[in-house]
Amino acid sequence: MNDSLKPNSLPSFQLAWFCLRSQPKHEVIAATHLQRRNSLEVFVPRVRFKRLTRKGQVWVTEALFPSYFFARFDWHTSLREIYHSPGVSNVVHFGSHWPLIPEETIAALRANVGEADVHLIPDTVAAGDSVRIVGGSLHGLDAVVSRVMPGSKRVAVLMDFLGGQQTVEVDANRIVKDADSRELILGAEARA
């Protein structure tokens, strides 16, 4: 990076985006403290999706980048307050280099995540989707959707079972898409 992107060379009172590390699973808490106490602009991109559990599928909301979030501040005047803010571990830096996050990157992430900073990963499935079965005797097995039967709320899935491929019908609420939610949103950003 050139010197114009290092905070040391920024004029005082110039706001720039930085990546901050939070304590584990405290991204929203740390960002909220910075926003309320220091009146900083913060951005915590999150994803909401269904996750497989022993009790069935449940909706969860997680940070897109676990333990990281973004804040816009003047490095010269706010760095000390940032470090002493609850939930913040540090501002990402490499030795004496404090990388800035370009405005375009934040804008692209916000466009992909949406207005509420939470991107909803739909739970609908289509033929060809990789899924995992939740609950029942087939709990935890992977399958591929071969047919969706919307009227009966059932799905036919093709799975490797007992040494061969079998087609099994299961309740639509007993399957969860097998894609990693972070890959889905980050893949959308790469295509944008």
- Nearest CA to 22 out of 14, 12, 30, 11 is that of 30
- Which residues, in sequence order, are CB contacts of 176 under 8 Å at separation 6+? 50, 51, 52, 57, 123, 131, 132, 134
Burial of 122 (0-12, 13-18, 19+ CB in 10 A): exposed
pLDDT along the chain (192 residues), means of 10: 53 84 94 90 89 75 93 91 92 91 93 82 78 79 86 82 82 71 51 42
CB-based contacts of 141-146 (< 8 A; 24+ apart in sequence): 142/178, 143/168, 143/175, 145/175
pLDDT at 10: 64
E strands, the chain, where?
16-22, 41-43, 46-53, 56-63, 68-73, 88-91, 118-120, 130-133, 142-149, 154-161, 164-171, 175-177
pLDDT at 164: 83
Q: How far apart are CA 113 and CA 131, in angstroms?
A: 23
pLDDT at 13: 66
pLDDT at 103: 94
Domains (ranges, CATH) in the chain?
Answer: 3-120 (3.30.70.940), 130-191 (2.30.30.30)
